[in-house]
A = this chain, B = another copy of it.
Amino acid sequence: MDIKSFVLKKAREAKEGARSVAKASSGLKNSALIKMADTIKKKTGELQRENRKDLVAAKKKGLSKAMINRLTLTAKSIDEMAQGLVEIAALPDPVGEITKMWQRPNGMMVGKMRVPIGVIGIIYESRPNVTADATALCLKAGNAVILRGGSEAINSNRAIVKILRGVAAKEGIHEGVITFIDNTDRQAIMEMLKLEGLIDVVIPRGGEGLIRAVTENSRIPVLKHYKGVCHVFVDRDADLQMAEDICFNAKVQRPGTCNAMETMLVDEKIVKKFLPPMIKRFKKAKVLIKGCPGTRKLDKSLAAAADEDFYKEYVDLILNVKVVNDIDGAMDHIAKYSSAHTDSIVTKDYQKAMRFLREVDSSSVFVNASTRLSDGFQFGLGAEMGISTDKIHARGPMGLEELTCMKFIVLGNGQIRT
């Protein structure tokens, strides 16, 4: 069978799965998830055996140590994968919620009901745990998933999918609910992206290159996560100790994440008081600081930040520091350079806090908190499918609700249009 027909057949199977799981009760979905977790734990040995094939191939190909780490299934990471499914089973089922309902003059009731999206395509790289995570989130929200993982993890992914499908079938959910594109040719992705009407939305999870390629080629809506160029603005009316703690945490606690601060903006009125101890603390933590002219006036040992640096997602212990006139200068800078992921203000001033909240056009806008808290679990969503930097459908951390959509329902008693 050619790739095109193969992918089409798979997508039709996923559509069947979607119809089946959309009707499944919460009880059935939860018990399937818990049995999937049990089976994964029981088959740890088998999963590791399959994973080893991928690891051997990865070493042969000379993949980086970081890549190989992400690829490795240890007994601990398999246990965590299983635990993730149990946690998703414990979350409330978003399907069926009626968020509002109102009566019209002709007596009909109009409402909005939360329903599954249908078939969700996940295109991802290396990490095999995504196979279980993404499946569980989609299934809990009543969707089928059509998975296309990277070639590096093909054996691990295949083994995980086999377990998940086996449990689904035993529980009476159509196997298509977990559909795996067992073909690592890039053309398989391109064929998926044409299947408007069979696949309802695509979520690419991986590097910027993958996301751009998917977006440029897809006829299907894409929910995407580009980079996180996050800012903290320290206002003249900030509690300076709080500001220092927030900025330090935002940069240093885990610099390799998308919600770490990349640029610190400082109100010119407090530069002399705030910056010297802050810079000292950053230097002690081995943060490389790139300063604007105003910052370097204060500390000539600092490197100079070039304009293009302000667009960079370092995901490393590197930080831009820029002095701004006031909150307007800070918001102008953010409007120009931010990736609209997460931006925070530190201030004691109520008016400025409210202006920043309203006017900064980012998916998460914070007052007096570290950008590192921008995360589905920290927000209390209970799960996270990724962080959307899109504005359409989902913005910011995506939980189960973002894997559903709202349809209109009408309860009438014979109404017609006149």
Contacts and interface: CB of A to CB of B under 8 A. Distances in A.
B417 A221 contact: no
A72 B172 CA distance: 59
B117 A407 contact: no
A122 to B, nearest CB: 15
Interface in A386-418: 390-393, 395-397, 405-418
A6 interface: no
Contact of A364 (B219, B223, B358, B408): B408
Interface stretch (A35-43, A124-132, A150-158, A241-249): A241-249
A391 B118 contact: yes
Interface size on A, as a range, is: 35 or more
Interface in A230-286: 239, 242, 245-246, 249-250, 253-254
Interface stretch (A83-91, A298-306, A371-379): A371-379
A19 to B, nearest CB: 6
Contact of A415 (B102, B253, B373): B373
B221 A410 contact: no
Given A200-B392, A390-B221, A406-B395, A414 B239 contact: yes
A215 B196 contact: yes
A391 B367 CA distance: 33
Contacts of A23: 358-359
A51 interface: no
A2 to B, nearest CB: 22
Interface stretch (A62-70, A108-116, A287-295, A313-321): A108-116
A135 interface: no
A307 interface: no
A361 B249 contact: no
Contacts of A189: none
A366 interface: yes
B335 A19 contact: yes
A370 B242 contact: no
A348 B222 CA distance: 41
A23 B331 CA distance: 12
A166 interface: no
Given A250-B416, A353-B411, A379-B408, 15 more contacts: A110-B379, A118-B361, A201-B391, A221-B390, A242-B413, A363-B407, A363-B408, A365-B410, A367-B409, A373-B417, A374-B408, A378-B417, A391-B405, A392-B392, A395-B405
Interface of A: 19, 22-23, 96, 102, 104, 108, 110, 113, 115, 117-118, 196, 200-201, 215-216, 219, 221-223, 239, 242, 245-246, 249-250, 253-254, 335, 344, 353, 357-359, 361-370, 372-374, 378-380, 390-393, 395-397, 405-418
